[in-house]
Amino acid sequence: MKDDVTISLEAEKLHVREIAKKYDIFESELEPFGKWVAKIESSVYDRLKDKPNGKLILVTAITPTPFGEGKTTMTVGLVDSLARIGKKVMGALREPSLGPVLGMKGGATGGGYAQVLPKEKINLHFTGDIHAITTTHNFLSAAIDNSIHFGNPLKLDLEKITWPRTLDMNDRAIREIETEYRKDKFIITAASEIMAILCLAKDIKDLRSRLGDILIGYDTEGNEVHARALNIIDSMIILLQDALKPNLVQTLEHNGVLIHGGPFANIAHGCNSIIATQTALKLADYVVTEAGFGADLGAEKFIDIKTRYLGETPSAVVVVATLRALKYHGMVEGLSDLEALKIGVSNLEKHTQNLKNFNLPYIIALNKFENDSKEELEWLLNWAKDNNHPISLAEVFLKGSIGGEDLANQVVKLAETKREVNRVYDLSDDLFTKVSKIATNIYGATQVVYSPKAERKLIALNEIYKDYPVCIAKTPLSFSNDPKRKGLPHVFDLAIEDVRISRGARFVVVLTKGIITMPGLPEVPNATKMFIDDLGNISGKL
């Protein structure tokens, strides 16, 4: 089988105008970026806002492993498979971040015969949205320091400035810095509150309100100071106005996908934008989207944060698993592959139980690869049948849409009856209760243990922001704080180290022990496996 980059570069692509026509998008509503990519004007949603929404399908997964489970591959494959069985369908995905693309993870445009195109553009600079977010974030940082330089009229306490700087790159050397004016730090752009705001804002009016509400620090009397006090909100909107528009691309089989926004699910809310999702729901009868990392992180935040602002909940959920990943979670020295699979399946069981508690209909999508053992496949299929778990053996990576027909048909049946979703917590719960409910019900923790600093901060925030959703920042590699414990349920206390308010995003961020908001590069970065020849032809792992 050809590698992903070769498949994508050899693929025949339709002009983006042709993709738009399939969804009744007018040419006047397109802002093309070359032949294969275009931004969608807000007039599309305005024109269709009274049209009934399509059905929303969420793709999530088991606990991640170093191999990847193929969540984006399955999302893209399901889009193509639903189209194959005659459904009008559109995908809604996040934009890849350059940090992981050049670092450990590599690209995030699917794989095999289930990819979005143009792969190299999407994975790298694309339409400049992430650069616009980075620039806007850092302009606010510069404006804060400029205000301090010219006499500090806002009377900011230099020890209590909460707004950091950002960069869309893994660079551990700048996690903590000191400027001429104050101690500071960098976070990766995917963790920026501007990224979260762009993904949760419904329009420019909402964007204006959220940007103005950003907490930049406290004054010398202990009062909050917000970004609007600097009188630069309009300039921030101008920097973001193009980035606020979703990006239209296509799959290998020429179906439309809106790619927009890119927050991480371990340190942010991990979903594509509200604007892209609500636009797709008007353009198609089925919209397939995904939430980052496993169902414990991404799906929980999708339900408890994104859908509260979106006003729409999933009609069905697809849980992606692979034999390789399940064996990884169950493997200890001396076990056979089948024995490891029988242990590792407990990870899948926990994620499906969480979805049952949400009252969401789900199906397991077993992402099949060429070297999968027939014995292991049969065991897992029989396990699912014996335990009443809907399951489909999906071969979209190997075969494209024809390999996902069974999954598509089952998803359509699951989505026929909309259910009322059970959320993990009520907004009326206090912040401590919200954290406890997520930790015990979703992760399986015995209790939550706070550092003195975290407890002090959460008590203070609870006085003002009690009704906000909670976004828990945690390792994606385990149900607990400890990434070395793999993804098996076990007895643990969830340790909380710090708490922050994302006032513009309108949620409270709770950081667990060990979480890092500026990753570092691995010893051998993925960038060393990417190549380009003198004619500009790209190859390798992108």
Token pair 């098996």 in the structure block, residue: 488
Q: Using an 8 Å Cβ cutoff, are 348 and 379 in contact?
A: no
41 is in an annotated binding site: no
66 is in an annotated binding site: yes
Residue 532's beta-bridge partner residues?
Answer: 538
Q: Using an 8 Å Cβ cutoff, are 458 and 415 in contact?
A: no
Q: Which of 396, 392, 372 is nearest to 381 (CA)?
A: 392
- Give CA angle at 478 (473, 482), nearest 5°: 80
Residues 6+ apart with CB under 8 A from 452: none
Rounded Cα distance, 393 and 13, in Å: 28
Structure-token pair, residue 479: 């149900």
358 is in an annotated binding site: no
68 is in an annotated binding site: yes
307 is in an annotated binding site: no
Residues 6+ apart with CB under 8 A from 17: 27, 30, 32, 38
Q: State the DSSP H helix or E strand holding residue 83, giving kind and residue range, or none if neither.
A: helix 71-84
Rounded Cα distance, 243 and 39, in Å: 9
Rounded Cα distance, 449 and 451, in Å: 7
528 is in an annotated binding site: no
71 is in an annotated binding site: yes
C-alpha distance from residue 487 to each of 267, 374, 402, 478 (Å): 18, 24, 31, 4
Rounded Cα distance, 298 and 275, in Å: 18
The 3-state secondary structure of 311-373, one letter per residue:
CCCCCEEEEEECHHHHHHHHCCCCCCHHHHHHHHHHHHHHHHHHHHHCCCCEEEEEECCCCCC
69 is in an annotated binding site: yes
The 3-state secondary structure of 192-236, one letter per residue:
CHHHHHHHHCCCHHHHHHHHHHCEEEEECCCCEEEHHHHCCHHHH
Structure-token pair, residue 147: 């205000």
- Kindly report the number of other CB atoms within 10 A of residue 394's CB atom: 29
Q: Give the max Cα distance, the chain.
A: 72
3-state helix, strand, coil in the chain (%, to 5): 40, 20, 40
Rounded Cα distance, 215 and 162, in Å: 7
* Binding-site residue set: 65-72
* Binding-site residue set for ATP: 65-72
